[in-house]
Amino acid sequence: MTTVTFPNDLLFSTNMTQQEIAAELAVALYQREKLSLGQAAGLAGMRKMQFQHLLASRDIPLNLDVSDLERDITNLRALGRL
């Protein structure tokens, strides 16, 4: 997990905590495909699943590519769910 420190005047003017601002930044960078899911989760100070729940609560889709889909299919087959 990454630690980011924001100036107190920013915290005061936004009425947000360090963690809340870090999460907002992580979401924005993830949406712009500047950070991977793991990187964004780390910046937000969350585990990947927690960050996925945050994205889902905002109707933000996961950035997946063909290799992600192929890996998911392989995993589902291994679990007998496909």
Q: Which domain holds residue 45?
A: 8-78
Consecutive 10-residue averages of pLDDT for the chain (82 residues): 83 95 97 94 95 97 86 90 88
Asked if the structure places residue 2 within a domain, the reply is no
Asked if the structure places residue 69 within a domain, the reply is yes
Here the tokens at position 7 are 């100036």
Digit-coded pLDDT (tens) for 5-16: 899 999 999 999
Asked if the structure places residue 1 within a domain, the reply is no
Instruction: Count up the domains in the chain and report the number.
Output: 1
Residue-wise burial string across 58-69, b where 16 or more C-beta atoms lie within 10 A, e elsewhere:
eeeeeeeeeeee
Asked if the structure places residue 51 within a domain, the reply is yes
CA distance 34 to 75: 27
